[in-house]
Amino acid sequence: MNSIQKIFQEKDRNLLSIYFTCGYPELNDTNTVIKALEKNNVDFIEVGLPYSDPLADGPTIQDSSQQALKNGINLDIVFKQLMDIKATNKTPLVLMGYLNQMLKYGEDNFCQKVVACGIDTLIIPDLPMVEFENHYRALFDKYGLTNVFLITPHTSEDRIRKIDAYTNAFIYVVASASITGAKGEISPKQIAYFNRIKALNLQSKLIIGFGISDKTTFTTACSYANGAIIGSAFIKNLKTNGINAIGNFISSVR
């Protein structure tokens, strides 16, 4: 049983996950942010690996990645930071990055480092299903890792059911067919999409992300799934109000 499955054993409603970018706002802020999120009882944390060409990310997260890269962040530093906090952090971490990052670092080296940091769950948005089936499923199984797949309003039912069969953590339900970023209120069209997914009676837990930004959107998302992820709104708050305001942000959502 992985760390995310254990969370769902203890709590399967209204889970709050926060996405943040490693090395942002400052190079050595990674663990300070993790500690603050843990202190404020976030259920799990999505740790973003800064990347120069993030396909799924909107302007806010792209800017945070660019700033982190300017700060000098790289995968070696990220893994060292995560190793440093491993012994004291009790909140499960999910590592979010892109396939090219793993390829450049070396697939086995990457997986070994992830496991050494105490992480067992990955989100790799650009990992093709065929590549997962032909290669990465066996690689991840070798290291005890699980991959989180994303679905969008355009994902076919056949693909969703295939993803459901492969899922060992949760399915990431992308709230809209677009990049990350706050979009305002959840629309009736999105509600219809959430209802359609809910009606499939999937075996996997569902976490909604993209456009979840405040108490209203979080509460609405949790009506149709087991929880939600907030990313861009948290990064904006971090930029505007700083690390000391993390507790206020989490309180405002819950």
- Cα angle 70-178-125, degrees, rounded to a multiple of 5: 65
- Mean pLDDT, residues 68-80: 97
Tell whether 5 is covered by a domain: no
In 3D space, the residue among 161, 215, 158, 221 whose CA is nearest the CA of residue 190 turns out to be 221
pLDDT at 224: 96
pLDDT band, very low/low/confident/very high, at 185 (cuts 50, 70, 90): confident
Question: Exactly one of 29, 43, 57, 120 is catalytic; which is it?
Answer: 57
Tell whether 8 is covered by a domain: no
Tell whether 6 is covered by a domain: no
Tell whether 81 is covered by a domain: yes
Q: How many domains does the chain have?
A: 1
Query: Which residue segment(s) compose the domain that 172 sits in?
Result: 14-253
Q: What is the pLDDT of residues 132-174, one digit of tens each?
A: 999 999 999 999 999 999 999 999 999 999 999 999 999 999 9
Strand partners, 20: 47
pLDDT at 181: 46
pLDDT band, very low/low/confident/very high, at 176 (cuts 50, 70, 90): confident
Tell whether 111 is covered by a domain: yes
Q: What is the CATH number of the domain that holds 18?
A: 3.20.20.70
* 39: pLDDT strictly greater than 60: yes
Please say whether the beta carbons of 44 and 15 come within 8 A: yes
pLDDT at 80: 98
Tell whether 9 is covered by a domain: no
pLDDT at 92: 97
Q: What is the pLDDT of residues 6-24, one digit of tens each?
A: 999 999 999 999 999 999 9
Share of the chain above pLDDT 90, in %: 89
- Mean pLDDT, residues 236-245: 95
Task: Tell me, yes or no, if 12 is annotated catalytic.
Answer: no
In whole angstroms, give the CA distance from residue 60 to residue 168: 30
Question: Exactly one of 43, 46, 76, 131 is catalytic; which is it?
Answer: 46
Place of tokens 């569902």: 206
pLDDT band, very low/low/confident/very high, at 52 (cuts 50, 70, 90): confident
Q: What is the pLDDT of residues 118-136, one digit of tens each?
A: 999 999 999 999 999 999 9
Tell whether 66 is covered by a domain: yes
pLDDT at 120: 98
- Cα angle 231-22-72, degrees, rounded to a multiple of 5: 135
Tell whether 3 is covered by a domain: no
